[in-house]
Structure 1
């Protein structure tokens, strides 16, 4: 009787395996249709995903109103969204028009910049040493005005890209607006949403694994809160100092360069070089001497940030070596672009904690040091919340 039952179980498992293989083959054969359906599904639910992201970003501000000013949830949400709307209006009225004007003016000046670059290049080609090198290479020929022609094609490409991006941005903007509205309800019922998510996690992973899963993402949340929040304040200070300094130097496109310096400062190691390069290259077409002064100023500003401001604000809360930070930034940028580069450092810091824990347990240690690090993350997150 037992043998007969085992045979039935084996046949049932075989039938299930055949069904799974058949479904998998059908999915592979019709992957375009599947991806199309998934794309449509994502476009439908994207406002809700955007709402979760917006609510996650605005939650610390709402908590500030609740804890510091003892406001009720509804009043805290109201003041949070009023603050954000005011900040968006101020940015749109005071900063955005000037940055847009700088970008449009630069696009108009591309032919002029190309002529200057072409003149520099022609002077280099007319140098006797360079001529002799070109003659020895043999088949090396350059059209006299190839930089101007390239610049014209580049400008046309940029304008077409801007037009297409504007149209796609309009569609995304509408979804973000819906997400912005839905996020009000997400913040209002965040405890209920979190309780529901915990129930799903515990049902799926059981108690022990569920606790580990929740603790892991809590550590990531705390590390992101500590790192991204303080790094944003650091980058804002650097952007303001850059704006003041560039204004004193009388650099062209001050708003644009200061914005690039502030935003790229969020990316460790690589970001500051991008800001410095943009400021130097823009000024190079106006005055080589001024370009050198801007280069020196931005370099000293980044040294001030690296040696004083950044350690003062962030300290050793991340706990990563420079090699790991560079690896994390490179990997994050390759996978998810600029956002990946910004989020890579705190995520890598949490992963390193768990790798250290695994190695300690493998070597027979209790892993108390790792628990201390996890507690330090939570304590630093609390300190950051109090300071904010």
Structure 2
């Protein structure tokens, strides 16, 4: 190897990287403490970036349809007003949804849980009676069931005592609670302001980021990095939009169908299924279990009807609605969707299930481009490989 300037620079960089890696492994506790401190400082801005990413999807939709480019090009004042007006409309929409939940849904939930408590009180003695009749021939189980006694006053006292003791241990001082509330509100306010700044100045920020990338990274690698960022953004936004619309449609279908068939808890079950449907593959089934349990407490026959209704609506949604609403927006085969959901759930829980499908989709698309590029370099036609595979 010639010890020219370029090779010496590479060797120096390799030595520096090795030294940093050894120090990080040796003092890993210090490294984790530093990373935790950095995450705590930057968390409001990370949260603001997440807010901006989510709000940017409906804001672009409103700006594109309410302020078309043909109209804004004719009026400079309207062009300046389009972005702030779209942002204000999106924020009003979010506040309206939250207000709808607070003033319409919460009273419904209160009455639902009240009737659920009464249903449980009636249901448990019925279950006891059914089990006694079922195990009448087994003297040991029958005697054990007869000894069971549900003292509701004692159960309520235990519940109140649990919450009182738990609240006492958690809220040991008013200062701690006030500090936590102020810290949370401060973090939310900083994140909200940062998100609004990003959304109002996103073109300017885009230009600044591009200048920084091209300033410190070679042109070819910079262009490849920007292409990956564009692919990632398009994949995430398409997946987020499609998943939210699909969840709303599915929840509405359940509310309407349950209302038509006079099933209890229609609004609550529809909301649970709409929220749980945001989790791909497994989410709707979680909502089905919760809904079936709630209805089972009132009427076991209707619970069976609800399960049948769920599978019917799930087939309609999976075969007709989901392909048209979400479609192939993430461009990921079904087997990799299942793998992404399983991996994301095991690593990060529900959040992992949501974000790992777009991430795996981006990796899949990039890897596919690399494979096709390598095949082209080897002068191999991918269609010929597909044809030979189909013959086998």
**TM-score range relative to shorter protein:** 0.7 to 0.9
Residue 75 (1) aligns with residue 84 (2):
no
Structure 2 counterpart of 1:242: 254
Which of 277, 302, 315 does residue 265 from structure 1 map onto? 277
Residue 99 (1) aligns with residue 100 (2):
no
Structure 1 counterpart of 2:315: 303
Structure 2 counterpart of 1:87: 93
Query: Residue 125 of structure 2 aligns to a residue in which SS?
Result: helix
Q: Contact conserved, 1:276 with 1:299, CA < 8 A, in 2?
A: no
- Structure 1, 274-283 or 227-236: larger mean CA deviation: 227-236
Q: Distance in 1 between matches of 2:344 and 2:22?
A: 36
Structure 1 counterpart of 2:388: none
Residue ranges of structure 2 left out of the alignment (5+ in a row) = 73-77, 172-176, 384-392
Q: Contact conserved, 2:44 with 2:191, CA < 8 A, in 1?
A: no
Shift of 1:273: 0.8
Root-mean-square deviation (CA), in Å?
4.4
Structure 2 counterpart of 1:38: 38
- Structure 1, 280-289 or 357-366: larger mean CA deviation: 357-366
Q: Distance in 1 between matches of 2:25 and 2:362?
A: 38
Shift of 1:104: 3.8
Structure 2 counterpart of 1:290: 302
Shift of 1:132: 4.5
Q: Contact conserved, 2:57 with 2:241, CA < 8 A, in 1?
A: no
Structure 1 counterpart of 2:338: 326
Structure 2 counterpart of 1:386: none
Q: Distance in 1 between matches of 2:325 and 2:93?
A: 23
TM-score, normalised by the number of residues in structure 2: 0.72
Structure 2 counterpart of 1:342: 354
Q: 1:120 to 1:61 in 2, by over 3 A?
A: same
Q: 1:13 to 1:73 in 2, by over 3 A?
A: closer
Structure 1 counterpart of 2:208: 196
Structure 2 counterpart of 1:384: none
Shift of 1:144: 2.5
Residue ranges of structure 1 left out of the alignment (5+ in a row) = 371-388
Q: What's the CA shift string for 1:186-209, capped at 9, x where partnerless?
A: 223212211222233334442222
Q: Across the two proteins, how many residue pairs are aligned to each other? A: 359
Q: Contact conserved, 2:44 with 2:187, CA < 8 A, in 1?
A: no
Shift of 1:245: 1.9
- Structure 1, 171-180 or 280-289: larger mean CA deviation: 171-180
Q: 1:34 to 1:308 in 2, by over 3 A?
A: same
Q: Distance in 1 between matches of 2:191 and 2:129?
A: 55
TM-score, normalised by the number of residues in structure 1: 0.73
Q: Contact conserved, 1:223 with 1:346, CA < 8 A, in 2?
A: yes
Q: Distance in 2 between matches of 1:116 and 1:367?
A: 71
- Aligned pairs for 1:138-153 (under 5 A) are 144=148
